[in-house]
Amino acid sequence: MYSKPVHAETDPAVMYALIQSQPLGIIISALPAPDSNTPQIQLSHIPWVLDVPDGDSKPAVLRGHITRANPQAKALLAHCTDGVTVPVTVLFNAPAHYYVTTKFYSEEKHVPTWDYAAVEIRGQATIHASDSAFLKKQLDDLSEMCERKYTEGEPWAVTDAPERYIELLKKAILGVEVEIVGMEGKWKMSQELSKQDRQGVVQGFEAYGTDLGNDMAACVHARGSLRDAQVS
């Protein structure tokens, strides 16, 4: 992922926080299909569980699952046999992103742009095709995480569904485990602008009077303040 130094985020804790707050990531692979020798770029949206170990002795891991009917799943399964892993990329995007009009600027003559934040994960993927224990833990942990984060009241649990249905579901999916070997963060939030123009962006977003506008204003302000502290 291309990023200017001014936009780069290198703190793992900040990047992990984005992933945990926005767990729907896009897994990208470039593997030949089972009936082809030509690599095909394939991608799928998957909600992930992030496991961050204590200390630096072990790498962080993403856990997810994908339906076997997905052509990308078939390609992954064909290449991930007997413990073989394959390289993949997983992309996560922050929910707050927006168009920045030149009308916000007051000092310099810039062009319009788009402010956003994203994290790119590079890792080695292992496929769990028949590991019932992995699939059970994955479904339990993902359901618990999402119910706690996105719903109110008594959370739903996998055990609330008929056992026979869950067993059929596990036969229709593949577990995906990505050992993280590298990651890059990009927070492009107008921090490269002058203080006056940044303030114009903040005020412009606030003037929309929306939750998204306020979120963008807060992000631009925070990143601008961080930039000022770094160069002072």
Predicted TM-score of the model (pTM): 0.93
Q: pLDDT for 61-90, tens place per residue?
A: 999 999 999 999 999 999 988 778 999 999
Average model confidence (pLDDT) across the chain: 94
Is the dihedral angle over the CA atoms 48, 137, 52, 222 positive or is it negative?
positive
Q: pLDDT for 149-190, tens place per residue?
A: 999 999 999 999 999 999 999 999 999 999 999 999 999 999
Query: How does residue 212 score in pLDDT terms, banded at 50, 70 and 90?
Result: very high
Q: What percent of the chain clears pLDDT 70, i.e. is strictly above it?
A: 99
Q: Which two tokens stand for residue 109?
A: 């003559």
Three-state DSSP state, 207 = helix
> What torsion, rounded to 10 degrees, do the Cα atoms 141, 144, 150, 152 define?
180
Query: How does residue 40 score in pLDDT terms, banded at 50, 70 and 90?
Result: very high
Distance CA 60, CA 55 (A): 10
Is the dihedral angle over the CA atoms 122, 126, 129, 131 positive or is it negative?
negative
Tokens 């492009």 sit on residue: 188
Query: How does residue 35 score in pLDDT terms, banded at 50, 70 and 90?
Result: confident
Q: What average pLDDT does range 84-105 have in this prediction?
A: 96
Helix (H) or strand (E) holding 141: helix 132-150
User: Which pLDDT value is given to residue 221?
Assistant: 98
Residue extents of the structural domains in the chain: 5-190
Q: CATH number of 5-190: 3.20.20.140, 3.40.50.2300, 2.40.30.10, 2.30.110.10?
A: 2.30.110.10
28-37, 45-54, 190-199 — which is least confidently predicted?
28-37
Query: How does residue 105 score in pLDDT terms, banded at 50, 70 and 90?
Result: very high
Distance CA 223, CA 198 (A): 10
Give the number of other CB atoms < 10 A from CB of residue 27.
24
